[in-house]
Structures are given as C-alpha cells and as structure tokens.
Amino acid sequence: MIRLMFKNMRRFLLFLLLILAASACKKRTSDAPADNGGGTTTGDLPLNSSAATYFDESGFASSFASYGFKNPSQIVLKRSATASGYNSVYGFAVPASNQVKGFKWNDEDEKTQEWRPQGITGFSWAGKSYLLVSWYAISPNEITGVRNEHKGVRLALVDITDMNDISYNYILLVQNISNSGNTLLYDKPKNSFTQLSNFIPVTMHAGGLAYYNQKIYIVDTSLGLRVYDLNQLVAASADATKNTIGKDTDGSLKAFDYEYILPQSAYYKITNGSPFSCVSLGEGSTPSDKRLWTAQYQTSGGTAQVLGFPISSAGVVSAPAILVNPKDDKGSTMYGMQGVYRAGNKTYVSKTGNSSLNGSTARLAKYVDGANSATYFPWAHGAEDLHLDDNGLLWSLTEFEYSKYAKDNRCVFAVRLSDY
C-alpha cells in the first residue's frame, strides 16, 4: 500500500511539473528587448486598454555598419540659425517676462513651403547641448501645388550650446524597403521620384519625438512609435537630381541629396491609442516612473486623451498606458492638442484652435488632475510639440512658412516651466 501511494505521488508531482513547464512556454504578446524594470505606478488614474507590440528592425539598421556609423557629435553642421528676432515672429504672444531664449531658422528654412517643423526634443552629447526637430514633407493636402511628400521626414540636429553661435544640419529618416508593402508603415507617395534598392523614406507626419538613452521615439499617427538609434547615423552621397533615394548599383547611398540618413531600428504597433499626435518624455506618479506621454489631436467630437506609456531603463515601451482626460478652460473636452508634457498631477498642453489673442490662436494649457477646468496662458501662434530639458526649460516651436502671413512665423523657443 505504501509503495502504491508513493508511486501515485510521483505521478502527481510529474503532472504538476508538466503544467508549470507548459505555462512558462506561452508566447509573450510583445517580443520586445529584455526589460530591466520600468514605472508601473498609476496613482489614482485609470489605465486604458492599449497593447504595444514590438517589431525589431535592428538587422536592417546594422546593415549600414560597413559605411561607418556616426553619432551627433560627428555630424557637420553647415547651417546657421539666429537668436535675434525669434520673439517677433507672427503671433508670438508669450509675455516678455516669460521669454527665456529661442532662435529662428535661416532664411531658406523660414520660407520653405516644402517642409513644416512639428516635433522637438533635446539631449546632451559629448559636452554639447542639442535639439532635434522633426520636419514633415508637404503635399497638396497642406499647400496647393506643393509635391514634396515623397521625401518623408527629416530631422534638424541643432547645436544650442552657445546661443550666439547656433548651427544645424538635416538628417533624412529611412526604413527597410521591405516595409514598402505595408500600408501602416509606408504611405506610398503619388508623385514621381527614383527609388533604388535597400531603403525607402519614412512617410509620416512626425508630430512629436522624445529622446531617451541615445535613442529617439517618434510618433506615427496611426501606427504608434518608431525607434531610431543616434549611434547609427550614416553619411550619404550627393544626388544631383535631388530626387533619388536608396542604395545605388555602385554601393553609394542616395537620400534626395541629404548628407546624412538615420535608419529605423524598431517600431511599436500600439492599439487603442491613435491618433498619436505628439510625444514627450515625462513622469508618472513619481520622478522614477518614466513615461512617454502622447496626446490625441482632435478638433471636435468624441474624446481626446493623453496617454502615458511606461518606458524602462532599457528603453522598452510597454502598455497599458495611464489615461488622462484633460479638460479645457470651460470644463469640456480639450481639443486641438499639439504637444504634451506631464509630471506629477499636472498635464501641460500646447493647443491650437482658440480665439485670437495678440495674433495667436494657440495657448499653453495647464490641467491639474481633478480640476474642473484648465488654466490657459498666451502662447505662440502655430505652436506644436513640447519638450522639457534638464534645466527646467519647456521648449516648443512654431510651424508656418513666411507666405502664409507674409511674415516669418517659424521659431523655436523656451520658457521656464516654473513660471506656469
């Protein structure tokens, strides 16, 4: 009898081990890099029902290694910006007492109708201070007769270490040519250009970007987030036609005559979060709870939400996200959100579509959790994304070309967050 009981016990234990092994082998919903721990604190805020799936494209990015990778400190910055006059552009309504610093682009970039700036982030590298600004290529949907949509997105790398000597240059974003058949990753341009092998442009709005641990995370309106490693910048060859992209038969890299490209290394497909209109690195309920905060640009109808996705120390983005429903100054849904930053229980929003104030229809809104309404502050007309630097300065930028108002509107500027 004892021998029979012992035999049955062994069978039971073996059965338990088989169950545990099967459970351990279940596939994860997100095949992301190893997560070294990130913020999970939500405080009293609800979570939304989003899910984030990671797609690794590091093999594509690494394929450029033979050309020699560069980092931001090795990029030659050939264009000059000026700090003079940034606060006198069309509709710059930020009170003088709140203005800290800023700059205007060179004359060509102030006036160009082929590109508009959208997103902003910043970082320090090799002892220098930089900003990164995303520009998306214009199509007839934005300006009648302009057909530049085939060029996708470029980034302006701006050295602001010395505000009396501001320099910058452009970098074209590229992705694997194998993505060309995926409409979520590539909106094939309808205008004519020469497509070579290996890589294609990144056709998206690029409404915001965030820097974290030498990588940048760029929102794609319907997709979620695209990821780029700033240690994988690559020099490209000249293109006399300014209309060719890809790897040529002689091995040279063409990028519409841009001197540098940045290959996509990963992306996150995120459900129940679109439109992804802007993004910034901020905080959850504690300073150690790092979040990528996105906001949904809507002009009317339905809900417009702010979502905070956890990001670990390894740079892994996860879901679900913290959900914030900021109210406007009248206690209704906040529409027109172009930029967002959040820390603690305060959400700051760069928003447009308001009544005109000193020539500007933009406001900086501050919403405190649980409040009946937001507080509005005068802001710069055409304002877009937000970025908080390590010195407590809140940066933003304006988008419109000279021809829209027969006056410069584009500028990049900073205020003290503590003033709001």
**Ranges assigned E (strand) in 97-223:** 99-103, 115-125, 128-137, 153-159, 166-176, 194-195, 199-201, 209-212, 215-220
CATH number at residue 320: 2.115.10
| Number of domains making up the chain | 1
In terms of DSSP H, where are the helices of 43-170? 58-62, 107-111
Residue 385 falls inside a structural domain: yes
Residue 5 falls inside a structural domain: no
Residue 20 falls inside a structural domain: no
Residue 18 falls inside a structural domain: no
Strand partners, 186: none
Residue 142 falls inside a structural domain: yes
Q: Tell me 94's DSSP state.
A: S
Look up the domain containing 232 and give its range.
67-419
DSSP notation for 24-45: HTSPPS--PSPP-------TTP
Q: What is the token pair recorded at 79?
A: 């264009």
Residue 379 falls inside a structural domain: yes
Residue 339 falls inside a structural domain: yes
φ, ψ of residue 83 to 5 degrees: the values are: -80, -20
SS3 label, residue 127:
coil
219-254-188 Cα angle (round to 5): 45
Global pTM reads: 0.90
Residue 62 falls inside a structural domain: no
pLDDT in tens, the chain (420 residues): 434 343 444 444 444 433 333 333 332 333 455 444 443 445 578 999 999 999 999 999 999 999 999 999 999 999 999 999 999 999 999 999 999 999 999 999 999 999 999 999 999 999 999 999 999 999 999 999 999 999 999 999 999 999 999 999 999 999 999 999 999 999 999 999 999 999 999 999 999 999 999 999 999 999 999 999 999 999 999 999 999 999 999 999 999 999 999 999 999 999 999 999 999 999 998 999 999 999 999 999 888 999 999 999 999 999 999 999 999 999 999 999 999 999 999 999 999 999 999 999 999 999 999 999 999 999 999 999 999 999 999 999 999 999 999 999 999 999 999 999
H/E element holding 5? helix 2-24
Q: Is the dihedral of CA 250, 252, 257, 262 positive or negative?
A: positive
Using a 10 angstrom Cβ sphere, with 0-12 exposed, 13-18 middle and 19 or more buried, the burial of residue 14 is exposed
Q: Tell me 142's DSSP state.
A: T
